[in-house]
Amino acid sequence: MLDSAGHAPVPPEVRSAFLAALDEGWADPRRLHTEGRRARALLDGAREAIAGLVGARTEEVALAPSHTAALHSAVRTVAQGRRRVGAGIVTSAVERMALLDAADFAGERHTVPVDRDGRLDVEAFRAAVAAPGVALAAVQHANGEVGTLQPVAEAHAAAREAGVPLLVDAGSSFGHAPIGPDWDLLTLDPADVGALPGVAVLVTRTAVRRSPVGPVEDGERWFPGGVSVPTALAAAVALQLAARRTPDPSLVSTVRQRVAAEVPMTMVAGPAEPADRLPHVLTFSCLYVDGEAVVTALDREGFAVASGSACTSATGQPSHVLAAMGALTQGNVRLTLPPDTAPDDIERFCDVLPGAIARIRQDAGI
């Protein structure tokens, strides 16, 4: 299994926490009876634990039904709350499509370019946020497709100087790289580190102005209906486990080196230096090869990988991330390694890959 982006294997501790919470937190946490209060205590405990992991107050943590919902809510509610400032929303060119789509829906998107490694152009970003009428800026902490760590501290300083709140998407990086305090709104995707799907995190500093964009239900301003208490508790445990891990960048480094050396007509995307990228993410692109064909061929060999953009693969569209970097978009393969990936599996993957690519090219008459 070399494709864990947004759906990582569930650790035993997370499964145990979920099952225990099914017994203790099954009730509606909005009820006033004993069972309801017990469920509310578990839900509040999950939020408190998450707040402690990111250096926030418990009341600043909101639980969303999905990471996409968290990003949509952050963009739309800040755009609504700061509408008197203007409708401008500044983003990098390599943000998730969920965020780019939300920015297009909620305001006027201004896109900042990236370099060939996918790194934000800080000077262009500084100029963009300083322009009149900017309500929000968004920069991912790291790219979940090519692994590039973004200059979030510099972006936050520029946004703060301009008086613009900065939304940082850490859905692909929490548990893999230190997040830091340089954000005004922060999203996390617990499923990316082994939580059950159904809960994501949106943290908002108290000073950020937001306004609901829909009806408010039972005090839930941002995500009416709430979330499952057992799933929320499991999400908190998954994030706690991820925060204690020591990532190993050597496996991705091995793949980078061997792909570049052993697979002809192939481009490895993203920074070469481990310090500049996530330790578990890698994308490479192969000329004269269809990405889906590579996925199918490797699946027959027992390897689960992905192709296309992390957020557009289901549509079959080329990766907007690779396109923004000026990189090859044809025949791309994306790896996101789970924590328990064995070195032997990586070596076998690298042994199998050149032959698989060669056979696909041969079948295509290349």
To the question of pTM greater than 0.85 for the whole model, the response is yes
**Residue 113 burial (10 A CB sphere; 0-12, 13-18, 19+):** middle
pLDDT attached to residue 266: 94
Q: One digit per residue, pLDDT tens: the chain, 366 residues? A: 899 999 999 999 999 999 999 998 888 888 889 888 889 999 999 999 999 999 999 999 999 999 999 999 999 999 999 999 999 999 999 999 999 999 999 999 999 999 999 999 999 999 999 999 999 999 999 999 999 999 999 999 999 999 999 999 999 999 999 999 999 999 999 999 999 999 999 999 999 999 998 887 766 778 988 899 999 999 999 999 999 999 899 999 999 999 999 999 999 999 999 999 999 999 999 999 998 999 999 999 999 999 875 444 455 567 899 999 999 888 899 999 999 999 999 999 999 999 999 999 998 887
Sign of CA dihedral 90, 96, 99, 100: positive
- Annotate 325-337 with b (16+ C-beta within 10 A) or e (fewer): bebbbebbbbbbb
SS3 of 44, please? helix
**Helix/strand/coil for 209:** coil
Residue 219, pLDDT score: 64
| Predicted pLDDT at 225 | 85
Of the candidates 157, 158, 153, 167, the one whose C-alpha atom is nearest the C-alpha of residue 81 is 167
Please give the pLDDT value at position 46.
97
Burial classification of residue 149, based on how many CB atoms lie within 10 Å of its CB (0-12 exposed, 13-18 middle, 19 or more buried)? buried
The reported pLDDT for the residue numbered 316 is 56
Distance CA 225, CA 211 (A): 17
Residues 176, 193: Cα–Cα separation, whole Å: 9
Domains of the chain and CATH, by start: 12-244 (3.40.640.10), 249-364 (3.90.1150.10)
DSSP assignment letter at 212: -
- From the list 258, 290, 261, 257, the residue with the least C-alpha distance to 366 is 290
pLDDT, residue 56, reads 97
DSSP 220-269: BSSSTT---HHHHHHHHHHHHHHHT----THHHHHHHHHHHHHSSSEEE-
